[in-house]
Structure 1
């Protein structure tokens, strides 16, 4: 198993040196001196990898990687709100699995007379014995939230249901990311379903201190950049290299707040097995 560990600058350096058979000293010289300003470009897509390829002697090293790409894993970091503390490594479920398996979120919904049933690729919500038609809420004050719920559980004309595990590429400033601050209360899907069904007070049951950053690893072929989901494996790897070198360059400056921490996700329907959950960290809210 070959792992690109994105926990810190140190683990990234070790990972790249292990893959490309280069020394840590040579890699650090690259992003600390000659190519430093190249890697500090705010848009990672504008970064040239010529200096990096020169360091590894030729692009042949990248070609070598393609031959065993199925053995390559990448770590990511998932922010998870829990009612109860995590005890030992647990499977990390995608949304549909979490709502159908024996999980605390499934039990929580059942306590409020809400269950879910799989119908094809869609997940139907049953509230007090009646199947919920989210379109019935499209003309109410909850129309925007109802559309979000419908899209995640059932999909729409353009996309299938949202059934992946989301995370961040780096373990950097995660709890302060603007798009996850709301998770200090409860998982977004919980908040949204309860709001539409008129059960907002039940959200308070999630207001505990069990907020975790969960580090996990997935196969590179199952690893997706949320804003670049159509990349080939080769394009995706080059995109990853640019992100990693940009992170290393910014980690040397006093502008760490400028570090971009991209949202990443797994392929649909994938659960992360306990053996691929690397660690979990309880964080303060």
Structure 2
């Protein structure tokens, strides 16, 4: 199986060269020869035709399955000190299944029920009528995530490359507490539950393997599989080039989404690292 392993530079060189059917040394030489150019241009400006010609790859990059699976780095704030190898759930599964998040909400009087593609919220037995709340950005976001005003936003998110993903400006707050959890508790004025989570939770980077056909680039969900191949290869080349100068910035790390209904099963998970202590829990 052609796995694109993005956990570290060496694994990326190894697996990308295997996918492209070229020698690892040729790939490394290309990055060295182009290092200044790669530093000065955006990933999207990389000439993919010139790259394939230079490294002498005969792989048909338009073939849909040249990359069969890829590693994704997921940021998770969890109360337990040890982040065990267990399923990662999409929002709807997390709110309504037998999960730790559902129990945490239940302990403060919040229950969520899946009704006709909408998650209905009950607080101390009373159904929440979102129309009774001022339509602030947070309330609007909650309604969107719950499927009240749209088809829902429940997918699992992550990043293409591993590292200090909690330093990406889009997700720094998630290292403290899951965004949905904080928003829901704040609107319902259950502030102590927010403070308890923030005081006791630990941030983790969880790396899992996902089918390449099942990932979606955030903000670019109309890509064909062939275009996704090219975009991914360009991102990898840019990542390798910038790492030669230690110029890789987590804010450049592509955000990856899974399909809405997908969960990540425990056997897909490769490793877990506590981002506060840098302690590897398992690998």
User: Of the candidates 139, 153, 163, which is equivalent to residue 172 of structure 1?
Assistant: 163
> C-alpha offsets along residues 59-104 of structure 1, whole Å, 9 cap, x if unaligned?
64324x42x45x7111111110111234541011111111111111
Q: How far apart, CA to CA, are the structure 2 residues paired with 1:123 and 1:268?
A: 14
Query: Could you tell me which residue of structure 2 aligns to residue 105 of structure 1?
Result: 101
Query: Could you tell me which residue of structure 2 aligns to residue 18 of structure 1?
Result: 18
User: Of the candidates 60, 78, 83, which is equivalent to residue 79 of structure 2?
Assistant: 83
State the SS of the aligned residue for 2:184. helix
TM superposition shift of 1:118: 0.8
Q: How far apart, CA to CA, are the structure 1 residues paired with 2:232 and 2:224?
A: 12
Given the superposition, is the C-alpha separation of residues 211 and 248 from structure 1 closer, same or farther in structure 2, using an over 3 Å criterion? same
**2:221 corresponds to 1:201:** no
TM superposition shift of 1:135: 2.5
TM superposition shift of 1:211: 1.4
Q: How far apart, CA to CA, are the structure 2 residues paired with 1:59 and 1:117?
A: 52
Given the superposition, is the C-alpha separation of residues 42 and 190 from structure 1 closer, same or farther in structure 2, using an over 3 Å criterion? farther
TM superposition shift of 1:202: 1.3
> C-alpha offsets along residues 137-160 of structure 1, whole Å, 9 cap, x if unaligned?
125xxx22111111111153xx42
1:129-144 equivalences in 2 (<5 Å): 129-139=125-135, 143-144=136-137
Does the aligned pair in 1 maintain the 2:86–2:266 contact within 8 Å? yes
Given the superposition, is the C-alpha separation of residues 160 and 42 from structure 1 closer, same or farther in structure 2, using an over 3 Å criterion? farther
User: Of the candidates 153, 161, 164, which is equivalent to residue 162 of structure 1?
Assistant: 153
Deviates further, 114-123 or 249-258: 249-258
User: Of the candidates 112, 117, 124, which is equivalent to residue 113 of structure 2?
Assistant: 117
Aligned residue pair count: 276
Taking only aligned residues, the RMSD between alpha carbons, in angstroms, comes to 2.0
TM-score between both structures, scaled by the size of structure 2: 0.91
TM superposition shift of 1:254: 3.8
User: Of the candidates 86, 89, 94, which is equivalent to residue 93 of structure 1?
Assistant: 89
Query: Could you tell me which residue of structure 2 aligns to residue 57 of structure 1?
Result: 56
Does the aligned pair in 2 maintain the 1:172–1:261 contact within 8 Å? no
> C-alpha offsets along residues 38-58 of structure 1, whole Å, 9 cap, x if unaligned?
433443222211232114535
Query: Could you tell me which residue of structure 2 aligns to residue 39 of structure 1?
Result: 38
Query: Could you tell me which residue of structure 1 aligns to residue 281 of structure 2?
Result: none
Given the superposition, is the C-alpha separation of residues 228 and 194 from structure 1 closer, same or farther in structure 2, using an over 3 Å criterion? same
TM superposition shift of 1:37: 3.7
Does the aligned pair in 1 maintain the 2:139–2:187 contact within 8 Å? yes
**2:244 corresponds to 1:248:** no
User: Of the candidates 209, 215, 218, which is equivalent to residue 223 of structure 1?
Assistant: 215
State the SS of the aligned residue for 2:103. helix
Query: Could you tell me which residue of structure 1 aligns to residue 68 of structure 2?
Result: 72
Q: How far apart, CA to CA, are the structure 1 residues paired with 2:250 and 2:180?
A: 29
State the SS of the aligned residue for 1:162. coil
Q: List gaps (5 residues or longer) in structure 1.
A: none
TM superposition shift of 1:257: 3.2
Given the superposition, is the C-alpha separation of residues 259 and 95 from structure 1 closer, same or farther in structure 2, using an over 3 Å criterion? closer
Query: Could you tell me which residue of structure 2 aligns to residue 236 of structure 1?
Result: 228
Does the aligned pair in 2 maintain the 1:38–1:47 contact within 8 Å? no
> C-alpha offsets along residues 221-240 of structure 1, whole Å, 9 cap, x if unaligned?
11011021111111111110
State the SS of the aligned residue for 1:240. helix
TM-score between both structures, scaled by the size of structure 1: 0.90
